[in-house]
Amino acid sequence: MAQSYFLTFDRKLEMAGQPVPPLGSLICAAVLRDRGFEVSFFDAMLAASESGCGARMDRFRPDVLVIFEDNFNYLSKMCLVRMRQAAAAMIGMARRRGIEVIVAGSDASDDPLFFLAAGASAVAKGEGELTVADWLEADAGSRAAVPGIVTVADGGGLRAAPPRVPIRDLDSLPSPAWELIDLEPYRRIWLERHGRLSLPVATSRGCPFHCNWCAKPIWGQRYNTVSPSRAAREVLALKELGATHVNILDDIFGLKPGWTDSFAAELSGLDAVLPFKCLSRADLLGDSSIETLVKAGCETVWIGAESGSQAVLDAMEKGVAVEAIRTAARDLRRRGVKVGFFIQFGYPGETHEDIEATIRLIEEVLPEDIGISVSYPLPGTRFHQRVRHEMGERRHWRDSSDLAMLFEGLHGTRYYRWLHTYTHARFRLARSLRTREAGAIRRLARIVRYGSLRALAKAALALTSRDRLSVRPWSPELSRGAAATPSLDPAGPGKV
């Protein structure tokens, strides 16, 4: 088995020094071992290049290479060019050795033909663990009919079997096969850079909200959870592996009423309360929710703020008011919980006034950290459907720092790359001026550094804004209230 996200090919994330072991891939590996297969795992995350996969195949001599992407890692949903190239290279290595290949993941579910053309025998579309296992167990003549499988038809087109019924009972899945990878390199990087080891867990799959730019190629409009007791046992297992911090990878954490309360109680009973970070929505973070998060050990909540403009949030069908973002951040801080903001620039219809409103929101709330992206039209989203006729030949970013404008936005790519720098400079300058995170001399150095960078980036924005394109108003299909109401895909029986 393998996965194709190489940290070394994504310089921004490599510099951050926060590698995430491939949780989803290791769950699939555990499923395959439970079915009786002998499994060896090539962990691309900290590997130097694709050649390591070839070397592993030479040692292990497998019958099949399973490339199973970590669907809990948001980077796998970004369909990055460099990682697609890595997957294609590993497929080629396997085929040259006479080894069959099956691929599963977000990119393969969106664009199976790319991976099949590269030499894969099959793609497991959607939730892949059981699909891959069933395909491996089937005889050659019936493999193409396994639910969830996509293959090349005799005429050269795609042949898709009926879709796989989603897994509702997540407790039925085995724990990740952590013993298949070497955690020591992760431990070394985390301890050297951050003084602690953070390991991942997932307590749910999917998100039932309606943000029209959010790609959901694996779980769609579904939301299923593991039981609180199972989730707590997984955290205990991470503690026993040496973790002193937990990275909860859920798209949205603790949505089911009462779940987080039970989770906190189970953790306490196991003496497994560890500091963790998670993702949530501003409108879900009321006083009682925050209280429960604190009991469970929550250290940081990342909020998908996206924009400080209500018009942009409504166009995204986010279903959240800007004021709710301010309130959630304030209430989290009162309970000692750190706040992170995900910010997105370049959404259709966004104006310079909207951009400034977003930066002012950041400066006002002053979260502990921010992550900035540019609107990225991914296949399967309503956003992609609306702008696909504006897209050229290039459809994917090369890596996570690319920030290329792939459709007709307010400005071109250069502008948004400088906007990224400008926003970070204003944010870091504001924190240097208003917090006491460092000594006086270090604070002064930061003030000079970020003040200078802000001035440089502002001048660059003035120059790159000359390639201005049209701004098109975009009316949402859903009202704010409708967008804030979770709903489930009929194909995915889950409960919120």
Mean pLDDT on 412-424: 96
How far, in Å, CA of 341 to CA of 353, rounded?
Answer: 19
Task: State residue 248 phi and psi, 5-degree precision.
Answer: -80, 120
Task: Give residue 486's pLDDT.
Answer: 87
Output 154 or 115, whichever has higher pLDDT. Answer: 115
Contact 176, 20 (CB under 8 A): no
- Residue range 328-374, pLDDT digits in tens: 999 999 999 999 999 999 999 999 999 999 999 999 999 999 999 99
Q: How confident is the model at residue 228 (pLDDT cuts 50, 70, 90)?
A: very high
Task: Give residue 482's pLDDT.
Answer: 87
Please state, rounded to an integer, the average pLDDT across all residues of the chain. 94
Measured from the Cβ of residue 230, the count of other Cβ atoms closer than 10 Å reads 17
Output 490 or 65, whichever has higher pLDDT. Answer: 65
Q: Is the pLDDT of residue 114 over 60?
A: yes
Task: Give residue 476's pLDDT.
Answer: 82
Provide the residue type at 234 as one letter.
E
Task: Give residue 492's pLDDT.
Answer: 42
Nearest alpha carbon to residue 82 among 3, 1, 5, 2 = 5
Output 433 or 488, whichever has higher pLDDT. Answer: 433
Q: Is the pLDDT of residue 195 over 90?
A: yes
Mean pLDDT on 109-137: 97
Task: Give residue 469's pLDDT.
Answer: 54
Task: Give residue 201's pLDDT.
Answer: 98
Q: How confident is the model at residue 64 (pLDDT cuts 50, 70, 90)?
A: very high
Q: How confident is the model at residue 467 (pLDDT cuts 50, 70, 90)?
A: low
Strand partners, 301: 278, 339
Q: Is the pLDDT of residue 220 over 90?
A: no
Output 391 or 185, whichever has higher pLDDT. Answer: 185
Provide the residue type at 154 as one letter.
D
How far, in Å, CA of 56 to CA of 99, rounded?
Answer: 13
The rounded percent of the chain whose pLDDT value lies above 70 is 97
pTM: 0.94
Task: Give residue 57's pLDDT.
Answer: 98
